[in-house]
Amino acid sequence: MAMNRALFAKQLEPGLNTLFGLEHSRFPEQWKEIFAQNTSSKAFEEDNLLEGFGAASVKAEGAAVAYDTAAELWTARYNHETIALAFSITEEAEEDGQYGSIGQRYVKALARSMVHTKEIKAANILNNMFTSGTGGDGQYLGVTTHPTASGNQSNILATAADLTETSLEQVLINISNMDDDRGIPIAAMGNKLVIPTALAFVAERLMKSQLRTATADNDVNAVRSGGYLPQGYTVNNRLNDTDAWFVLTDVPDGLKMFQRRSLTKGMEGDFETGNVRYKTSERYSFGWTDWRGIYGTPGA
């Protein structure tokens, strides 16, 4: 249904001081702080896990060497979605508006909606990390039961904990103890802390203090002095759990975003009605390949 003059009665008369509601400041593109950006020219993208070899064994004198086998394991698929929104406005409403083009003003609103939707799509990967959405290995992103040839592995705290110096240090220790699928240690480390707005002040104290927080001991802030989170922290306003927090690691092919088609805009008039239609759309996908790319906890 086209937006008509009845919806914009005040804009058809002189005397208004201000039209407001569509010009609020925007947050920067927060998803870019979390996801590696990629482009795609296909309907979907797939990442395939290659299993390596285990530890070598001792060969006795004169005995045959032991053989190991490797194989392709599971596949992570990124199915690109088309995200779109449109509106239509009557010829009369556009002609009779006294404060500039109503249609052009709402083109800005279209852009705001598309940006917001993209942020929600990205944040929901973390919002659903412990509760829904399976990856290539058939598990949620954050579980203690990621299946590997060397047994189940975890990327969450065994006991959920709020963000404190102790819990943050434990997460960083656990990341450094990560193994590959055959149980061989990998040189993983934390890169960036990701938090909701409710934890911004906690993170600022934990990351920026020269000395340890909430203690009278004259000890250094080990996380800061050791450079254990070189990219600091980022606040994401679309995270919906006020005490869940996450640490991105330097493991490659973790959280990824594929842009299939960038944002496009279109406008056309209808010959019979004179209505003008505006549309915008883009195609992309968010997801993860290697669950080792993130470690998290839903909070206590």
Report the SS3 class of residue 280: strand
More confident call, 193 vs 9: 193
- Mean pLDDT over 102-107 rounds to 81
Q: Which helix (H) or strand (E) holds 84?
A: strand 81-89
The answer to whether 76 and 288 are in contact (CB under 8 A) is yes
Residue 135 CB partners (closer than 8 Å, separation 6+): 76, 141, 287, 288, 289, 291
Per-residue pLDDT tens for 266-277? Answer: 989 988 898 999
97 burial class (0-12, 13-18, 19+ CB within 10 angstroms)?
middle
Give the span between the Cα atoms of 129 and 123, in whole angstroms. Answer: 10
Give the span between the Cα atoms of 215 and 212, in whole angstroms. Answer: 6
Residue 44 lies in a domain: yes
Residue 159 lies in a domain: yes
Residue 17 lies in a domain: no
Torsion sign over Cα 148, 150, 155, 156? positive
Per-residue pLDDT tens for 57-78? Answer: 999 999 999 999 999 999 999 9
Q: Which helix (H) or strand (E) holds 124?
A: helix 102-127
Query: Is the per-residue pLDDT at 99 higher than 70?
Result: no
Per-residue pLDDT tens for 106-127? Answer: 888 899 999 999 999 999 999 9
Give the span between the Cα atoms of 30 and 44, in whole angstroms. Answer: 24
The answer to whether 87 and 110 are in contact (CB under 8 A) is yes
Which of 299, 260, 298, 294 minimizes the C-alpha distance to 135? 294
Task: Copy the structure tokens of residue 78.
Answer: 């990124």
- Mean pLDDT over 32-55 rounds to 96
Residue 249 lies in a domain: yes
Q: How many domains does the chain have?
A: 1
Rounded to the nearest integer, the mean pLDDT of the chain is 91
Which range, 189-193, 222-226, 276-280, has the best average confidence (pLDDT)? 189-193
Residue 90 lies in a domain: yes
Identify the CATH number of the domain in which residue 92 sits: 3.90.1690
Angle 84-87-91 (CA atoms, 0-180°, nearest 5)?
Answer: 150
Query: Is the per-residue pLDDT at 7 higher than 80?
Result: no
Candidate from 34-43, 58-67, 110-119, 214-223 with smallest mean pLDDT: 214-223
Q: Which domain holds residue 288?
A: 30-49+79-297
Give the span between the Cα atoms of 230 and 224, in whole angstroms. Answer: 9
Residue 151 lies in a domain: yes
| pLDDT for the residue 39 | 97
Give the span between the Cα atoms of 255 and 155, in whole angstroms. Answer: 13
Residue 106 lies in a domain: yes
Q: Please state the φ and ψ torsions of residue 293, each to the nearest 5 degrees.
A: -75, -10
Query: Is the per-residue pLDDT at 25 higher than 80?
Result: no
Candidate from 94-108, 113-127, 242-256, 279-293 with smallest mean pLDDT: 94-108
Residue 136 lies in a domain: yes
Query: Is the per-residue pLDDT at 18 higher than 70?
Result: no
Residue 207 CB partners (closer than 8 Å, separation 6+): 193, 223, 224, 229, 232, 233
CA 14 to centroid of chain Cα atoms: 45
The answer to whether 247 and 190 are in contact (CB under 8 A) is yes
Query: Is the per-residue pLDDT at 166 higher than 90?
Result: yes
Give the span between the Cα atoms of 243 and 236, in whole angstroms. Answer: 12
